[in-house]
Amino acid sequence: DTCDGLDSSVSRLIAMLSGQVTGGEKRLHLPTGTFQGTGSSQTWSQSGSQRPMELPYHDWSWHVHGYGISLRVDQAGWEFGASPVRAQRWPFDVDTFQVRVQTDRLVPAAFVQRCPHADGWSYVLDYSDDRNENDVPDELATIAAGFSNRNAYYVGNARLAKLNIQAAQICALASGTRLEGGACQWSCIDLPDVEDEDLPACDTCDGLD
């Protein structure tokens, strides 16, 4: 069980979004997420009950219905983004997933930022998916312990449990599409502080209360 010590529902949810979902098939209703500038008409999540995030979804860690944005950590190559069968519907390749919170700086030295981090936020997770590499570990226990490489990192459940998180957001980004000033095309939405009964099973999340 990799979530021991995570004492808030938002911490447990962040751990699950890192790929540590082990069952339950729960639906999370997120705010509407839109991208920037010329991408403002493109959404990757929508408020209401029609297009929720499902954790887990079949063999995937999670999936946003209606848009195909998904995470699957048990394979190499494609791990995050619009599912290959739906990628042609997108005007850009969403290849980066971030979770940012308001706390101390957390970026490990090994990680190379593909999409620069915004001021005022600390990033507990940044998965910048290289389609030709296995960026995110396949084993949930490895994710829970924390990991880092050039393309992805997660701070780990033990460090997450110690953070005093005032606010949290999840972000989908397209590193191959740049805005004025050089920032990646991006969309960030608030992460709700849900009750535990609204969350799926996470054998590694005990203690994230």
- Read off the pLDDT of residues 152-165 as tens digits, 9 standing for 90 and up: 999 999 999 988 88
Q: What is the pTM of this model?
A: 0.68
In this predicted structure, what is the pLDDT of residue 160? 92
- Nearest-angstrom CA–CA distance, 134 and 74: 9
Q: Mind giving me the DSSP string for 20-69?
A: ---B--EEE-PPPEE-SGGGTT-EEE-SSSSS-EEESBTTBSEEETTT-E
For 142, residues 6+ apart whose C-beta sits below 8 A from its C-beta are none
Q: Is 56 in contact with 113 (CB distance < 8 Å)?
A: no
Q: Is 28 in contact with 53 (CB distance < 8 Å)?
A: yes
For 72, residues 6+ apart whose C-beta sits below 8 A from its C-beta are 59, 60, 61, 78, 79, 80
In this predicted structure, what is the pLDDT of residue 104? 66
- Dig out the tokens for 51 from the structure: 């297009």
In this predicted structure, what is the pLDDT of residue 29? 87
Task: Write the single-letter amino acid at 4.
Answer: D
Intervals of the chain under pLDDT 50: none
Q: Is 124 in contact with 164 (CB distance < 8 Å)?
A: no
b/e sequence 140-154, b meaning 16+ C-beta within 10 Å: bebbbebbbbebbbb
In DSSP terms, which residues pair with 70 in a beta bridge?
A: 63, 81
Q: What angle do CA 27, 134, 159 make, to 5 degrees?
A: 60
Q: Dump pLDDT digits (tens) for 126-156.
A: 999 999 999 999 999 999 999 999 999 999 9
